[in-house]
Structure 1
Amino acid sequence: MQTETLLYIILAGIIALLLSFFHYFNKKKSMSRLNMLFAFLRFITVFSVLLLIVNPSFNKVTLFTEKPNLILAVDNSSSIKHLNQKDKALDFIESISQNKDLKSKFNLELYTFGESLSTSDYIDFSENQTNIYKAFTQLNKIYKQTTSPTLLLTDGNQTYGNDYQFVDNRYSQPIFPIILGDTTKYVDLKIQQLNVNKYAYLKNKFPVEAILVYSGDDSVNSNLIVTKGNLPVYSENLNFSKTNSSKILNFNLPANSVGIGQYKITLNPLEQEKNKINNVQNFAVEVINQKTKIAFVSDILHPDLGVLKKSIESNEQRAVSFVGLNDIIDKINDFQLIILYQPNNKFKLLVEALNAQKKNQFIIIGPKTDLDFLNEAYPFFNHQITNQTEDYQAELNRNYGPFLIQDLDFESFPPLLSNYGAVQFSIPFETILNKTFKGVSVGEPLLATFEINSWRQAVLFGENIWQWRAQSFINEKSFKPFDDFIGKLIQYLATNQQKSRLNIEYDSFYKDNNNVIVKAEFFDKNYVFDARESLEIIVVENKSNETKTFPLILKNNYYQVDLSSLPPATYNFVVRAKNDNLSKSGSFQILEYNVEQQFLNADVTKLQKIATNSQGKSYFIDNWQNLIEDLLDDKRFVPIQKSVKKTIPLLDWKYLLAIIALSLGLEWFIRKYNGLI
């Protein structure tokens, strides 16, 4: 308590004492016992009221004991079942969960992981992907400030994600791997990795890269065969030995017919092999008739040019060519889309030709753009000329209609350098991204599209979009989300199809271990996104004609359904709006491939390494009994006594009000009883 507050309390006591004596001890009143009682009660009342006015604060310290956490992270992937470790894993979980000594010392928390971390205690070892690194990243967010030794029950075989053996740099808790799986080395011949382009072009050849690995001491022979249907299209004899244990094969296959071609690559297994599943992989290639050709025209050099080319050509169905101003006019019809980067007066003949032929265009405007020329060349919009620039960030318009857009957290992207000034459109347009300045929308489009009788154009009002691709990689650890965003914009601009009220988005084929996602969007008759519609998808398996119906779930500004439960096969489907007579159909294939079945042993080396690096210890599932004793004896994991200090003002002490009421009540009652009132 502060000295100033203490002085106020003393002063309040003196004032209360003086007032009570002044009222009951004067010339007319004697110092009788009754008056002394009245004076005491009055002192209590006045002093209590003055204390409420001063309102001193008191510190309350509460002591409590905090037990450390014991995290049990269980690998719920199907590789555990494939390695015949399911029963051992469940017995271990049961033993740890029911151990009274561990419960007394730790707060036991159970998590499962596959593709991501889950708090569910339902363990069926059925997940098709394993990402151990991501599981630790998510655990770190929960237990960063606590003492939480972590038991990792896994075979150590990760199918995707960052290498988890270096996770100790981000996860500060001791890790105790319990290793599931056989450590005996078996003779094995497998297809380690298969790299194939998703698309090929008719009458061309597409490359295939196969990485083959042999584990064993003796020299062996095998044969690699690639078949399409029942017909072999490629084969090669191979020799392996202890010193020649891996091969990288590169070969080309012909693309003779349009559509999806399904292939099987088989590495003939050895007789003594234990796991023959990893000797076979399926893959598919979609053969298309032609590439979408896009011309890039610019009078300046800028990093945006290279980045946009990379993003557009990330889809192999598209090819970007940089064409000079003197050459492009004679080649306009060779391209489906022309991108004009910061046009100036030199673009006059080109723009006149493009507008005359109603050629689709993507116009990127920046500080080096000649706005006088632009306003004259394009009567559809007018950009105010101020000769000033400003940095504007982006904000996604979730009601954008022409195609589906995923929010890439645009608000976190660096600003684009744009010309300062209002933009006025003389025709209807749709905004993809709005300009914001210091987090406030300025009511101007940053990226917009418009359409006149199937003639499509887009305008980006800013340069330095190359920084967006870099930021997207920082956010997502991949360029793919940003490239997909640019790809959808290019796909919209490079086609001249009429706008549809029902649009669907899906892949031609999926691997069995990947999520099978179909997205859709539905618009009302004014082409405004309609979130009230009920969409369903009717899926028919080609061979058996078995039909299944699934509802599409509304998610942000689109509908979505996850069909990952479907077995590998070829499917036709129809997406239908229940309340409107609209539907869209398509087809896709699910290729049989389970990455979790490619493993033969536990990855002991990595699990032992993360145990050592994190100051933990590894155990094999058959010898885990010492784990409990080690955890109980480890002096790092002891309960910690903590204190919580709370500052409580006197106003919160309700008993003081009761004292005031009681003292006033007693004073009145006694005076009334003695006839003094």
Structure 2
Amino acid sequence: MSSETLIYIILAGIIALLLALFQYFKKEKSMSKLSMLFSFLRFLTIFSILLLLINPNFDQITLSIEKPNLVVAIDNSNSTSFLKQDEKVKNFIETLSKNEKLNNKFNLNFYTFGETLKTLDSLTFSEKQTNVYDALNKLSEIYKQTIAPALLITDGNQTYGNDYEFSYSEYKHPIYSIILGDTVTHTDLKIQQLNVNKYAFLKNKFPVEAILVYNGNINIESKFIVTRGNTTVFSEVVNFSKSNNSKLVNFTLPASSVGVSSYKATLVSIKNEKNTINNSKNFAIEVIDQKTKVAIVSDFLHPDLGVLKKSIESNEQRSVTFLNPKEIEGEINDFQLVILYQPNSKFKNLFSILNEENKNVFIIEGSKTDLNFLNSINKNYQHEITQQTEDYQAELNSNYTPFIIDDINFESFPPLRSNYGYINFSIPFESILNKSIRGVSTNEPLLVTFEINGRREAVLFGENIWQWRAQSFINSKSFNQFDDFIGKLVQYLASTKRRHRLNLEYDSFYNGSTNIVIKAQFFDKNYEFDTRESLSITVVDEATKKTKTLPLILNTNNYQVDLSSLSPSRYSFTVRTGNENISKSGQFEILAYNVEQQFLNANVTKLQQLATNSKGTDYFIDKTDGLINDLLTDNRYTSIQKSNKNSLPLIDWKYLLAIIASSLTAEWFLRKYKGLI
């Protein structure tokens, strides 16, 4: 409270006292006890009202005790039950949750993890993948500002994601590894890895690489066999010993028919082998009869060119060729799509040829683009010329309809350098991305597509897209999201198929350990995305002929259905609309493979190293008797007393109103009782 406010309060007290005495002391030389009581009540009323007018602030200090958090992260993947550790985990969790001393010292927070981190609801041990790194990374964000030792209950066998062994550098608290499994070494043969491309071309041969691993002490002989249906397409005898415990087998197979071809690789098991599931792996390849060829035309070098090639060729169905404007003129019909990078007057003949051949085009503008030339040769849009450039960030248009666009966090991407000025289109267009400056939308297009006379075109009004691919890797630790975005754009532009009202997005085959999500888009008669329609999918197992019908759920700019619960088999499906007689069919195959069942032992070394580096301790699930006592006696985990200081205005103090009402009421009743009213 300031000294100025204190002076006002003292003056208010003096004024209230003078007014009270003036009313009850002026007629009498001395005050009776009753008059003194009336004066006190009147003083209390006036002083309280004046205090409300002054409305001083008072500091309120509240004390609270903050207990440390104990984070319990449980591996909910299928490997836990496969190693027969599920009941032990449930009993251990029950022991922790019911321990009174532990609950008195810590706030216990339970989570499960497999593919992602979730708050504990139930333990099913049915997750198909394990990402320990992702779980620890997300926990580090949640408990960044608090004391939070973690119990990591897992077998340590991670199936994808970054190496978690050094996650202690991000999770700044001790990690106690609760190891599921044992260290007993079992004799085992397994197919460690199969490397094969996703696509092959008709009448070619595609390479396959198999990494075979043996864990044992004696010399053995086995046989590696690859079959397609009931036919053996490749076999080789392999020998292993304690010192020579791995083999690399390379071979090729013919791509003889268009479509999905499924194969099974088997390493024949040996006597008394405990785990034979990891002796087999299914794989598939999609055979196509042609390759999409893309030409990138530029007359100078730029990092964007390399990034476009990398992203486009991340799909084996596509190839990229770099050409200058003169070189491509005689080869234009060899390509399904031509990308013109920052065109200038040297592109004049090329534009004429592209128009004559009605070729699909993707134009990328930048600081070196000759806008005068582009405006003179292009009838679809005109770019205002200001001789200035500006850096624009991207803003996703969620209403874009020609194909499904996933939000890959475009707003976090660095800005693109673009020519400043309005862009006036003379034809209808659809914007994928719009321009924004420091988070403020300009309603100007950054990336657009349009169709005219059966020809598809796209224009990107900015350069330095190479920075987007780098930022995408920082965001997701992978180039896949950005490459998929460019791939979808190229696929749309390279296609000459007529537009349909119902479009589907799915893969021809799925690994049994991946999520199986089919996406669909439905448009009204004006080809605007229709959110009012209800879509359903009927899936037929071609082996058993069992059918399953599910609704598709609306998700921003598409409809989705998750079919991850389906068992490995070949399926046909049909997506239908509810209100109109429109449907579309397709086929896919789920390969039999459970990555969680490939392990015989816990990854003890890595879990122990993680615990040691984070200043925690490792325990086997069967030997956790001392864990609770260690947590209770560790001086690093103590409760913290916190004081919270709030500045509250007096007008919020409800008791002052009660004092005013009580003093006025008491004075009125006393005066009434004494007959003074």
TM-score by length of 2: 0.97
Which residue of structure 1 lines up, in the alignment, with residue 477 of structure 2?
477
The answer for the alignment partner of 1:507 in structure 2 is 507
Aligned to 1:196: 196
Deviation at 1:673, TM superposition (A): 4.3
- 1:169 and 1:208 map into 2 onto residues whose CA distance is 38
The worse-fitting range, judged by mean Cα deviation, of 71-80 and 230-239 is 230-239
Corresponding residue of 2:536: 536
Deviations 1:422-442 (Å, cap 9, x if unpaired)?
Answer: 111111111111111232222
Alpha-carbon distance between aligned partners in 2 of 1:446 and 1:645, rounded to the nearest angstrom: 50
In structure 1, the partner of 2:39 is: 39
Structure-2 residue corresponding to 1:137? 137
Q: Which amino acid is 2:631 matched to?
A: L
Partner residue, 2:67: 67
Note the C-alpha offset of 1:642: 2.8
2:276 aligned residue:
276
Q: Provide the residue aligned with 2:29 in structure 1.
A: 30
Name the structure 2 match of 1:52: 52
Aligned equivalents of 1:104, 1:22: Cα separation in 2: 61
Relative to structure 2, which stretch is displaced further, 233-242 or 284-293?
233-242
TM superposition shift of 1:637: 2.3
Q: Equivalent residue of 1:326, what SS?
A: coil
Residue of structure 1 in register with 2:178 after alignment: 178
- Tell which deviates more after alignment, 540-549 or 587-596: 540-549
C-alpha change, 1:247 and 1:145, in structure 2 (3 Å) is same
3-state secondary structure, aligned to 2:331: helix
How far is 1:591 from its partner?
A: 0.1
Deviations 1:95-142 (A, max 9, x none): 222223322332222221111112233112111111111111222222
Distance 1:440 1:633, change over 3 A: closer
Rounded to whole Å, the distance in 2 between the matches of 1:19 and 1:395 is 68
How far apart, in 1, do the equivalents of 2:312 and 2:635 lie? 57
Where do residues 592-607 of structure 1 align in structure 2 (5 Å cutoff)? Answer: 592-607=592-607
Percent sequence identity over aligned pairs: 65
2:264 & 2:376 partners in 1: Cα distance? 58
CA displacement 1:287-320 (0-9 Å, x = unmatched): 1101001111111211111101111111110011
Residue in structure 2 matched with residue 608 of structure 1 by the alignment: 608
Rounded Cα–Cα distance in structure 2 between residues aligned with 1:386 and 1:106: 64
Q: Which region of structure 1 is more displaced relative to structure 2, 139-148 or 283-292?
A: 139-148
Per the alignment, residue 255 of structure 1 pairs with 255
Aligned residue runs from structure 1 range 74-93, under 5 A = 74-93=74-93
Per-residue deviation, residues 527-563 of structure 1 (Å, max 9, x unmatched): 1111111000100111211111011001111000000
Which is further off, 87-96 or 440-449? 87-96
SS at match of 1:327: coil
Structure 1 gap segments, 5+ residues each = none
Q: Which amino acid aligns with 1:284?
A: A
Aligned residue in 2 for 1:392: 392
Cα distance 1:279–1:13, how it changes in 2: closer, same or farther (>3 A)? same
Distance 2:65 2:386 in 1: 67
Find the counterpart in structure 2 of residue 556 from structure 1.
Answer: 556
Q: Residues of 1 paired with 2:199 and 2:230: CA distance?
A: 22
Amino acid paired to 2:433: L
Q: Is the 8 A contact 2:25 2:31 kept in 1?
A: no
Deviations 1:461-510 (A, max 9, x none): 11111111111111111111111111111111111111111100000000
Could you tell me how far apart the structure 1 residues matched to 2:40 and 2:341 are? 91
CA distance in 1, matches of 2:587, 2:545: 13
Instruction: Name the aligned partner's letter for residue 207 of structure 1.
Output: P
The normalised TM-score by structure 1 is 0.97
| Contiguous gaps of at least 5 residues in structure 2 | none
Q: Which amino acid aligns with 1:278?
A: N
Instruction: Select between 223-232 and 583-592 the one with higher mean Cα deviation.
Output: 223-232
Q: Which amino acid aligns with 2:338?
A: I
1:329 aligns with 2:333: no
Aligned partners of 1:278 and 1:3: how far apart in 2? 80
Aligned partners of 2:401 and 2:557 also within 8 Å: no
More moved, 186-195 vs 661-670: 661-670
Q: Any idea what SS the aligned residue of 2:284 has?
A: strand
The SS at the match of 1:96 is helix
Q: C-alpha displacement at 1:412, in angstroms?
A: 1.4
Give distance in 2, aligned partners of 1:481 and 1:530.
26
- Displacement of 1:453: 2.8
Q: How far apart are residue 3 of structure 1 and its match?
A: 2.8
The aligned residue for residue 18 of structure 1 is: 18
Alignment length, in residue pairs? Answer: 676
1:183 partner letter:
T
**Residue number in structure 2 paired with 1:239:** 239
| Contact 2:397-2:433 at 8 Å conserved across structures | yes
AA aligned opposite 2:127: E
**TM-superposed deviation, 1:675:** 4.6
Match of 2:433 in 1: 433
Q: Give the aligned partner of residue 418 of structure 1.
A: 418
Q: Following TM superposition, by how much is the alpha carbon of 1:19 offset from its aligned partner in structure 2, in angstroms? A: 2.4
Corresponding letter in the other structure for 1:379: K
**1:97 corresponding residue in structure 2:** 97
CA distance in 1, matches of 2:531, 2:240: 59
**Helix, strand or coil: the match of 1:18?**
helix
Match of 1:128 in 2: 128
Aligned equivalent of 1:287: 287
CA RMSD of superposed structures (Å): 1.6
> Cα deviation per residue 1:392-422 (whole Å; 9 max; x = unaligned)?
1111111111111011121111111111111
Cα offset for 1:69? 2.4
